[in-house]
Every structure is written in C-alpha cells, then in structure tokens.
Amino acid sequence: MRKNWLFVMGSLTGVGLTLLVTGPQSSHLIARATAAGADTYSQLNLFGEVFERVKADYVEKPDDSKLIEGAINGMVTSLDPHSRYMNDKAWREMQETTSGEFGGLGIEVTMEDGLVKVVAPIDDTPAAKAGIMSGDLITQIDGEAVQGLTLEQAVNKMKGAADTKTKLTIVRKGKDQPFDVSITREIIRVKPVRYHTEGGDIGYIRITSFNEQTTDGLHKAISDIEKQIPQEKLAGFVVDLRNNPGGLLDQAVSVSGSFLPRGEVVSTRGRNPEETQRFTARGGDLTKGKPMVVLINGGSASASEIVAGALHDHKRATLVGTRSFGKGSVQTIIPLGAGNGALALTTARYFTPSGHSIQAQGITPDIEILQDVPDDLKGRADTKGEASMRGHLSAEGKEQTGSQSYVPPDEKDDKALHAAYNILRGTTVNAGVPLAPKQTVPN
C-alpha cells in the first residue's frame, strides 16, 4: 500500500512539473480552471509568463534548467524547514551519506534564516577535531557567502575529495566577531555505534546516527558487552543518544525493537486519517529485560526522539538529561525519475506509542540533569530546537524550545552519565520511574 501511495505521489509531482514547464498551453489551463480552481491555474499562468519574460529579456541568456530548479526549490522550501528538492547529484550524495560512508567534514547541518546551522559534529571527524560546535552558524564556505544557497548546495560545497581543504567562516554565540576554521576533508566512515563496559557491571552504548549500519552495530555492542560481563553481574545498559541528529526511520524502529519484546514503536499520521501507519517492535529484547537508562539532550533529534519516546512510553527505560530537539515530522523521499533527482517532502508527523506528538515539543526526560558548562562556553551550550525554526510545523499543544546540548568531553565531568550509572547501581532512587520493563502500552 505504501509503495502505491509513493508511486501516486511521484506521478502527481511529475504532472505538476509538466504544467509548470509548459507555460504556452495557457488555453488548456484556462479551460480547466473553471472546474479545478481558477486561482491555482491563474498563478500557474503567472509563473509561465514570468518564466518566458525572464528567458526573453534577462540581461544574459539564462539556463532554463537552473530557472526551473530554482522555482522548484522556492516552492518546496516555502513549506517547512525540512522539505527540499534534491537534483540528481544531491540525490546520489544523500544515498551515499545514508550508507554510512562519504567524503567530507563530518557535520550534521540544517538551514536557519538563510544560513547553515550545525546540528551536531559527528564524533572523531575533521569537524569535531576542529572544534565545530552544535549551534554554530556557517556564513561562508571558502569565502563564498552561504546566503542565497540551498542546503544541498551548501553541503555540496563542503563535501569533496579526501586530503583537500576548505575554510568555513563561523558565527558563534558569545563571540564578538566571525572567525575562520580551516578543515581538511577525509573519507567519513560513520561508525554509528560505540560502546564499552564501565566498572565491570554496566554496558555503555553510544549511538551517534541512524544509518544503514546502526542496528547491526547495536547488536554487536550488546553481544560483546554480554560476553565481557556475566549476566548475574550486569546491572544494565546506558544508551547515549545525546547530540544524535537522527536518520533513517527503519533503523529507529529496529533499534527500539532490540530493547522491546513487543509493542508499538511509533506511528506516523499524515493529512488524511487513512495515511496513518504504525510501526511495531519485531526483533525481541536482546538485553533480556536488563534495566536501561537513555541519555538525551537538546541535540537529540528525529530518530533519536522516536527511540527515546518508545522506550519511555513502554516503561522500558529511564530518560536522563535535557529535553530533546522536537523534530517530529516525517520526510518521504520521492524519486522523480532518471536524472531528475528526488523530493524530500514532509508528509506526516511522528507520535510516540502513548500518542504524544514530538513536533516542536520534544521528549522530556524523567530526570533533568544540567551539565556544568565552562565559562568560555556559557551562553553557547543551548540548542534552540525545532520550535525556533522559521516555518516549522506547529505543535499539537504548547511549543517548547531551547535546551542544553553541551556534553563534557571528559567522562569524569559528565553529570548526566554519572547519574545514569548511579541509577543502574541503585545509588540514586527516583520514585515512580521504573527501571525494569513493564509493558503498559497496548499493542
């Protein structure tokens, strides 16, 4: 059913583009306007007239394909911050990125007020090593202003062959002047899961992104930890989702299913009731019901919020940290045919198993822990969140924005992490926040 729906959407989009391109067929458009809405077709006629006028009278001969691509970008980006058109090159590069290997700097970015905003640097990448921080605004790339570029165009400029350099001009809250950062590109092989044992009784698992390798990496982490710590000594697991910007929906579902014996993980609800979809846990709880603490913060977005929300609603984990980002919308990728790229269109909202909408509200932790921020970073350790983004989808309730996203580089200074360890060891007791799994959410 889903494939058919996507196919229909792709077909409708193709028809729409044909109408936009074939401006001269004005008589047919006018004839249909009476039945299909005069205002819409009047605007299409207006577009056709402007397109022809630009082609005929612009001071230099324009490139027709660039005019059309610019028009499409303008239409799609006017919808919300996450819908976008990808030309063929950008579409291929996105496929490379989700596979977990690409050439570039290693930062997750979004567009805000015409500038590129860093959501989070990826661990152990050139950007992270160069000191790029969540919340940084990139105003120039190699001396060229970002203003006026689409997100894909800006990302493409930052990507490139390994061992080549690029210079980013950064505006950072708390800094009086913009500053330049020179970064040498590398082949980015994103290892989405890192793990270790702590004190001989706790397994620590950090998930940095949700790409095609995430679930396999998680399964290996759980298996290795259980080999290192006998079941009778294993107090539980800490799953660290802080500053994880998200990724693939199917990976979020399968990661959640690795900790749940059964039950709903997330539902997506579109404009029409019949478009509602429910995704359920299928893999079985690989941890055999061991207690869990999940760490989240202002940089935990999208797929991270799905996992945190599912484990929280099923009483499977205690959430510790600060409120998450609030990116609760679904982008469906709609290929537009050979050579035409693809459309990433916001088609639905995410809801946790209990029916809580993530959009512009985020996930609130059971236990809020604020980190001690160094003096030189004070005022720059918060992420504004989805609710602060221009054109965002409104929340179904009170919008929440702004949350701390700072994570100390040294684990000994990480208050949230130590709180998680204490909870699992029984040192800290929080009444009403169960650690053992209790399936209270109906399937």
Q: Beta partners for 84?
A: 344
* Span 165-169, average pLDDT: 95
Q: Beta partners for 188?
A: 102
- Residue 428's pLDDT is 64
Q: Is the pLDDT of residue 441 over 60?
A: no
Q: Is the pLDDT of residue 2 over 50?
A: no
Q: Is the pLDDT of residue 13 over 60?
A: no
Of 8-12, 22-26, 104-108, 120-124, which range is least confident? 8-12
* Span 210-238, average pLDDT: 96
Would you call 89 a catalytic residue per the annotation?
A: no
Catalytic residue among 134, 256, 302, 324: 302
Token reading at 164? 């080549």
Confidence of residue 100 (pLDDT cuts 50, 70, 90): low
* Span 308-313, average pLDDT: 98
* Span 56-74, average pLDDT: 94
Which one has a higher pLDDT value, 428 or 93?
93
Catalytic residue among 136, 240, 327, 329: 327
Q: What is the pLDDT of residues 132-143, one digit of tens each?
A: 998 899 999 999
Average pLDDT, the chain: 85
H or E element, residue 46: helix 38-57
Q: Please give the Cα distance from 180 to 350 (Å, whole number).
A: 38
Which one has a higher pLDDT value, 356 or 434?
356
Which one has a higher pLDDT value, 204 or 22?
204
Q: What is the pLDDT of residues 345-382, one digit of tens each?
A: 999 999 999 999 999 999 999 999 999 998 877 776 77
- The angle subtended at Cα 183 by Cα 179 and Cα 187, nearest 5°, is 150
Of 45-49, 73-77, 107-111, 208-212, which range is least confident? 107-111
Q: What is the pLDDT of residues 227-278, one digit of tens each?
A: 999 999 999 999 999 999 898 999 999 999 999 999 999 999 999 988 899 9
Q: Is the pLDDT of residue 432 over 70?
A: no
Confidence of residue 404 (pLDDT cuts 50, 70, 90): very high
> What sign does the CA torsion over 306, 307, 311, 317 have?
negative
Q: Are 361 and 397 in contact (CB under 8 A)?
A: yes
Provide the H-helix boundaries in 61-125.
64-77, 88-99
Q: Give the rounded percent of residues in the chain with a pLDDT score beyond 70.
A: 87
Catalytic residue among 136, 240, 313, 414: 313
Q: Please give the Cα distance from 368 to 382 (Å, whole number).
A: 14
Confidence of residue 295 (pLDDT cuts 50, 70, 90): very high
- Residue 9's pLDDT is 26
Q: Please give the Cα distance from 357 to 362 (Å, whole number).
A: 8
Q: Are 198 and 239 in contact (CB under 8 A)?
A: no
pTM (predicted TM-score): 0.73
Q: Is the pLDDT of residue 442 over 50?
A: no
Q: Is the pLDDT of residue 413 over 60?
A: yes
Would you call 302 a catalytic residue per the annotation?
A: yes
Please give the radius of gyration of the chain, using alpha carbons only, rounded to the nearest integer: 23
**Residues 407/120/185/95 CA torsion (nearest 10 deg):** 140
* Span 133-158, average pLDDT: 89
- Residue 113's pLDDT is 79
Read off the amino acid at residue 185: R
Reduced to 3 states (helix: H, G, I; strand: E, B; else coil), residue 406 is: coil
